[in-house]
Chains A and B, each alone.
Chain A
Amino acid sequence: MKYSFIVPRTKRIIGSDMRLALFFFGVNIAMMSAAYLFLEYKTTIFKEKHALYATDIKQLDTSTRMLEEKIVTIEAEIKKHEQISTDNTVMAESIHNIFDLAPDSITLMRAELEEKSLILYGISPNKDTYNFMLEAPLKSIFHRTYTSFYPIENGWYHFVSTNYLDDENSTEVVE
């Protein structure tokens, strides 16, 4: 101090009562502002998520659909493969069964297997042997069976057996 023996008391613009009021209000306002900011932040997050929701769900649906399509494709492939395998097996069995039809006395020289027809070339000791031993089972399998015999020198016969499987609606072809 320049002139005075004592220093003046501290002067505060804001008195203690004002400071107390400001403190409580300040705390209140701070808490409310914090709550507001939290709500604002969360609201923004929710809005962003909502905006992404449509995209996300579309992506997921697309992805799921693609996976399902892939599954369908693979199942079709598997089914086709199974069908093909079955057809191969059935073909083997059919051919096996057909060749099993011919008795030992009849010798098959040639077989032409079509989808709906079978032509057998062979040698039979006699017609009856063929008719009873081979033609009968063939007739039971095929819708139409035609046989031609050609005698050979040793008294046996060449035969040509033509057998057809008809469709239900198709007309019979007469040779």
Chain B
Amino acid sequence: MNFRLNYRTFYVILLSLLLMVSIIAFSTFALIPKGKEYRSLRLENKKEQAVIDTAHEDHDLTEEKLKKLEEKNKDTIKAYRTVFNPEKFMRLNRTQLQDLFLTEIHLTDQNKSFKVYEVNATTKITSPEVFYQFLEKVNHSGWIIGVHFPVHFERDKDLIRLSFTMKVHHVSEGKEEK
């Protein structure tokens, strides 16, 4: 049997073989490795994304918690960041504490977190009840004030002369900047 192959058919077969070899080579050396790389990167990315999502969630929860805390305790937080104003303090307590006089404001660093102003106060009150009310009121004064010993009461005719020490707590600048 004579098999006659004309030029056109020969070229078509040759071209087809060439293209087929190219396609197989491309698949083997480029496409399949790229597919494998894609798959492994995708899996890795998925895991990383899960980690990032978890971290985001934690961050969001923490942020939420902080917000709530700040919201709930905004007065306290504000009080810590308010610089003590002796004039204002005297003005606010003038009605209960007569002749209120604040002296010797010292700045002492008790620890790294807070600055503490020590204030000596002398005043005249009508009865110890006034002092008790003052102590109650000072907790909501807009500063963080702790009344400390020594507390001296002394009868002075109809009034009671009172002296006590106050420590005003303030968040230090360095801590704030941090």
Give A residues with C-beta under 8 Å from B.
15, 17-18, 21-22, 25, 28-29, 32, 35-36, 39-40, 42-43, 46-47, 49-50, 53, 56-57, 60-61, 63-64, 67-68, 70-71, 73-78, 80-81, 84-85, 87-89, 91-92, 95-96, 99, 108-115
Contact = CB atoms under 8 A, between A and B. Distances in A.
Main SS class of interface, A: helix
Given A43-B41, A50-B44, A67-B59, A81 B144 contact: yes
A63 B31 CA distance: 41
A40 B34 contact: yes
B67 to A, nearest CB: 10
Nearest to A122: B155
Given A18-B15, A36-B31, A99-B128, A74 B70 contact: yes
19 contacts: A17-B9, A25-B19, A46-B38, A46-B42, A46-B44, A53-B48, A57-B51, A60-B58, A67-B65, A68-B62, A74-B73, A80-B144, A81-B144, A85-B139, A91-B149, A92-B136, A109-B155, A112-B151, A113-B152
Contact of B128 (A53, A88, A95): A95
A92 B34 contact: no
Contacts, number: 174
Contacts of B138: 88
Interface of B is mostly: helix
B92 interface: no
B62 A71 contact: yes
B140 to A, nearest CB: 9
Interface of B: 8-9, 11-12, 15-16, 19-20, 22-23, 26-27, 30-31, 34-35, 37-38, 41-42, 44-45, 48-49, 51-52, 55-56, 58-59, 62-63, 65-66, 69-70, 73, 76-77, 79-80, 113-114, 128, 131-132, 135-136, 138-139, 144-155, 169, 171, 175
Contact of A91 (B30, B70, B151, B175): B151
A146 to B, nearest CB: 18
Contact of A64 (B35, B55, B150, B152): B55
A73 B65 CA distance: 13
Contacts of B77: 74, 77
B150 A113 contact: yes
Given A17-B12, A74-B69, A89-B136, A80 B48 contact: no
Contacts of B49: 49
A32 B154 contact: no
A131 to B, nearest CB: 22
Contacts of A17: 8-9, 12
Contact of B59 (A32, A47, A60, A99): A60
B155 A95 contact: no
Contacts of B66: 67, 70-71, 74
